Structure 1
């Protein structure tokens, strides 16, 4: 009873000892790995330290008696009787059983929370201390133990091999010292670095100086930079070449001894790192900001600028636009930051208030601004700018159409709806029909019919219509209709059923919409007028000259459709009226688009025509323009394709390697070098293989096959070659084709 709790405590004690030893071992293994940079030594040190730590800690020797002793010494509730929990009931007396039960009940909630003795904190400190010591030792070794900066790639040296079999009476010159100095541009604030690694990576504009010293007499030394031959200059005992880095590429070295034997090196990379433009960001500001006339028109710019080598200058470009349309004017200003720009800092944060009143902006004006930054690149700095932000002061002036009160006659109605507005109101009426009374529905439908009539009459004026009868031939005029209605109402004395739904100014104000004329008198005058057949009559809609015939026909169709739309609205059928309204709107839009004016763009002005040659019909000096041009098709990677065919001949022993073959392989390498700049991992192995063919030791069948295989893997597919195909046709084939054409 209670023995399981003691066993759990014993197990936790052992686990803490195992963990303590593991921490010591990890610290020592990490120290060895960081000191030697060898993973094998690190793992070996970990295992050895783990064994030593376990040997000293001996976690397996922690027994249940040790656990009972620790519990009796540190837990008062045990009463120095926790050992009774490990005994069975047969071994104890009745009094001991009572004591066992009492101790078990008191220890049960305590033992689960009791922590065994351990030194985990001390072991953790030891582990991190050893790792930090290893890091410090590695840094010191890299800093002072390796003058080249600890770059493992600096161990690569320039090696030469002869191009052809040597037939010399003198000793072959050997390269004994290589020194490559990289002088970075002054604005980068980086000093000159020296290395022996021929694979160079430097900033654009850096000056690279190669110094090669040979043991023996050398006739000349050259650099082959992607087909460009650059000679070295001899200075005392070494050969020197200085070049400014302007582009990435690949290069190799060649030299000749006194007997004229050529030696060539491997292929090395020359990588140019471009100076990136500054990064400019404006934070905490919306792209569009609007101000009212009485607002505080100030903006606070929070600008973060960063650059890889240092910032030279920064400022705000603000452009104010005034006016609208053709009278718009722009004014550009440069706003300097209040804080001086610290030159050379790689990261700065600037704040600048922008006062729109100080920029002399008025209501309706717009401001476009952005931040521009320059770095210290020479001779031409990189320029970068932020996004463009906008600030607008809302205009307080609005234009309204008014009619002077002192005019004798007001020919404009109180309101004038367009066809699109009528469609919107009709659709709204259809949607509201279930929620309104029948009387309101009929009233609103009749009102829309009246508005449709107003619109029809206005468009009818463009056609020369001055009465409703002329706007819709064959229809009875509204004046006559209304007269008949009055007569019938007077005779029968019946109440007008539409009185509650109709618009009163359907009849009362109609004389204000369209002028009325005595058509009978006009017809008599026209019959008596002797000039009637020779002049335009603008009162006749068919003779109106406002539009051409096609536009008049469209407008006539629109007016007829408006009649149908109005009819269904008057009959309280807006659903049937809506399709007619859409048809009328479509025709009106077509008329508007056809009436647009095209303004020719200002451009070429033809030379003036000589008056003496005009309309003479003389075309003797005029010739038709005929241009004939021939292009020679050039297949891509032509040298590479020839090199593949040549390698096949060399593999089959059908040809011996000569100087012309070497030139072809060099040309193929120069073609692929352009691709290798963007994708060096794919092409570098191929370029190195082509370069090795210049060495006599590498001219074997196996090497030829390997280079040919690599070339075929990277060679793109050939483009289609445009060419004229010869066709052979006889008389029978022509007759057959002719018959096929007929029966098609």
Structure 2
């Protein structure tokens, strides 16, 4: 045998040693796993475990043997044979590539290897690890084989069958097939157990076999409904659609005690609606800086049986604020990505494509259906709001107070007046003169109504009312509102010197002033004009009024002072001045509209609209923070023990709810061995369960325990299980604080000290 062949044999022997060592380690563990699987799951599962164990052992052998190669052999030879001069690698080199000196050294190595026996290079056995594995595997296998099993059933018997009596029908086979609805994608299952848990809408098919054959077989449900099985050869078959959870028992005719056979349970799993989660954006309200930039919306939808492949994205754009807000709806169809139970829907929206302007919102919400048939379920996501904020407005900084929104309701009507006036000018060539004047006057009336509504925010009154005939003198030296609030003043400002209207204005007690006082060169009313003096009280030294009573007495009885309009509002001074300027422009717009000159009214109307928008953007008021004012404490009552005037703090006695009386009665009856009382209590308890199904977590468990106790009233374990359910269903009493007994030495000393007025001892 050549030297190289001997070396290869040495490597092979090392690999065999490693393989045997690995098998010695894996064999006890594999046998223990097979024994455990055979005992728990059966022979088929044990075979699967054995195959897995063999594959795992082969993989371990290959992994451990891969390091025994030529490099390992060279290193081991150099380490064990010092006479080789660390030149064992020359044995595997090609002779043609060796130099003369290397060929000479190689000849010496071959000679020295042939002179002595080849060393044993096999790795040692893993003795300790092998012993531990065999001990562990033997213990697990012994425990699995020696663990006690349930008592074997008689041949041909089925679980839950009624004990057979000679000559009576006996169930020898039972099978329940469950076919879920097609939309769930679940496969049909068949099991010898008559209990099942399936989705709502599943089709249940029973197959029972008896020997000898009974006359009829029925399924009796807990609600009293009966389902008769039809005979098919040697089998009895029936089918039912599962609509809800129920209990039932199999009752073959001619079998003694069949109506007391064990109950079987059918649980119906309802189809859950889809669950929608917003992935992007991360917040429900997103402020955008550039409406032209696209925004990404991403939704994740999950469902227990499947999500529809397409979904609807409903987009709503809001326009306006306050009560005059309008909505524009849009809709997009999105295709989902992912598997049927979890899909992701994504959309990229450009707000400008929907006409979004500053100060408006774009609200998006996803609507998606699941695959339930025949009626799919709809789910909606949370709303995602994309807001393009308006231009920042400098507010009232440094005010110590709370902000509240005001004036949101009437800041859009001025624009409609402008639109109506422009439309009237376009239709003027087609209208008669009187029709044009009538429509212009109607727009002027609308302008007057809007002006009056804004005037209320400056503390002014409505027009058209009579005042008390008190003094004509003003009530204060302070300037009053410079805004006209009467139609008579409107007529004067319009230049219509109607004596009747002028007299009626003065008869109302309102000194509106002349038209020259209110209108400047440009027709704009001047600020100092006093056109809202109610003359509620006479000043010092004023002459007596011609009225029927003293001015002070009349004011005290009937009047109200608001000679300072600013005191009647909560607007900041800058906003009041802006609103006052808007009212001046409205006055001029109304003046020209009532004179049938809408073209001259439009500039004033536009300026009024701009001022109103400024007021709208500064629609905040500030209220001073006020602390709570608690009533003062009466120190004379402290530590006195007197309870006069104090309501009783005693709690009413706890009483059981009348509707829960069957629970208490059943609890007491189950604690005694009286069969009649137990039967009566169980009947009442079953009626209570049927009435309060929504209150209980698992009503079928209650019915099963009641039936179990009814069949065997002497079963202590059955009573204990039913009492446990009763305890979980009883209402919790309201908590209370018990009164102190007060009969101890310390308590008596304390109360005596309180009675003597000495305070605490």
TM range (shorter): 0.3 to 0.5
